[in-house]
Amino acid sequence: MRRLILIYNPRSSHFLQVKKDVIDKLRGLKGWMIGKYEVADTDVDDNASRLAKLLQDDDLVIAAGGDGTANIAVNGIMQADCRGIKLGVFGYGNFNDTARTFGKPTIEDILNNKAVEIWPLECKINGRHWRYAICYFTIGMFAEACEVFDHPKTRKSLRKGKKSILYSVRVLASWWFKERKRRHFMPEFNLGNSSDEYVSSRGASDYLALNGKTAARMMKGGKYFLQKDEFLSTTGTLTKFWRLILFMMRSILKQVPGTESDYDKLVFKKPSKMMFQAEGEYKMISDVLVVEIKKSTKPLLVIMK
């Protein structure tokens, strides 16, 4: 029998819907051995490591939850020493960028459709692998803004069904007006490419690398996940009101303003502490000197609609 591994988070805001739409429907599925991985209350890296140890060749992995749950699945599969693992994603989070990138497949799509090779981004910090991401990485202010969605009041509102894009924008705007002048989100760094050409990014509050169709549900990226080398990257000083407005208008109506790259290298003048984000999951990291962003050399098999 083929193995199906379902990944879910019982503490998520929309777990009851996951249980009704996915868990209950998979019970008694003929021709499949159903396994479950319940996300532990730790972090993405720990969960991905645990998941990688459970996987076997030719497993079908289904992530049912938000982008954090999908990111655990992606990193677990990429770390596993296995062949032929396929991934399907159901979006039950606030933004669901991963599910949007894959076209929101149904259970029937995932069980019956063929898989497509995609190429995730890889982030290395000080020469060591940190994490993979299908859709995007951010460093700086946008990464720190993710904390607002873990505030007890915000999570309570999300559990009550307030998951519209307007609610999320209102929460983020309130945070931005309070925090934009209180801290320096990124220290000065030089941004290099595969040709060893560097430019100064003094004063930048953010770095973004985009690989998927959207970021935070609002900003348009592209189908770079289907390309083996290129992704979209940009830096910006988004603590200034007019720069933020121009950036967001362009990002929502057209595409995030940036350039295509096959390798980005951020070199900081001294060991620094800053927030990193991969698909909505954030982590404060200290003693950062060098950050490298490029495509993984190993593809991921994903079922798309």
* Residue 171, pLDDT above cutoff 90: no
Mean pLDDT, range 236-263, rounded to an integer: 93
Reading phi first (left if > 0) and then psi (alpha if -120 to 50, else beta), residue 232 is in beta
Contact between 236 and 185 (Cβ < 8 Å)? no
Q: Which domains does the chain have, with CATH numbers?
A: 2-119 (3.40.50.10330), 123-295 (2.60.200.40)
Predicted TM-score of the model (pTM): 0.90
Distance, CA of 130 to CA of 167 (rounded, Å)? 31
Q: How confident is the model at residue 305 (pLDDT cuts 50, 70, 90)?
A: confident
Distance, CA of 238 to CA of 162 (rounded, Å)? 27
Q: How confident is the model at residue 220 (pLDDT cuts 50, 70, 90)?
A: very high
Query: Which pLDDT score, from 0 to 100, does residue 175 have?
Result: 73
DSSP string, 255-295: --S-EEES-EEEEEEEEEEEEEEETTEEEEEEEEEEEEEEE
Query: Which residue shows structure tokens 């505030």?
Result: 151
**Residues forming beta bridges with residue 265, ordered by sequence position:** 192, 292
* Residue 167, pLDDT above cutoff 70: no
Contact between 100 and 217 (Cβ < 8 Å)? yes
Query: What DSSP character marks residue 182?
Result: T
Summarised one tens digit per residue, pLDDT across range 112-166 is: 888 999 999 999 999 999 999 999 999 999 898 877 766 666 556 655 554 556 6
Distance, CA of 235 to CA of 199 (rounded, Å)? 11
* Residue 93, pLDDT above cutoff 80: yes
Query: Which pLDDT score, from 0 to 100, does residue 81 have?
Result: 92
Q: What percent of the chain has pLDDT over 90?
A: 71
DSSP string, 66-105: SHHHHHHHHHHHHHS--SS-EEEEEE-SSS-HHHHHTT--
Query: Which pLDDT score, from 0 to 100, does residue 77 have?
Result: 98
**Residues forming beta bridges with residue 283, ordered by sequence position:** 276
Contact between 38 and 10 (Cβ < 8 Å)? yes
109 three-state secondary structure: helix
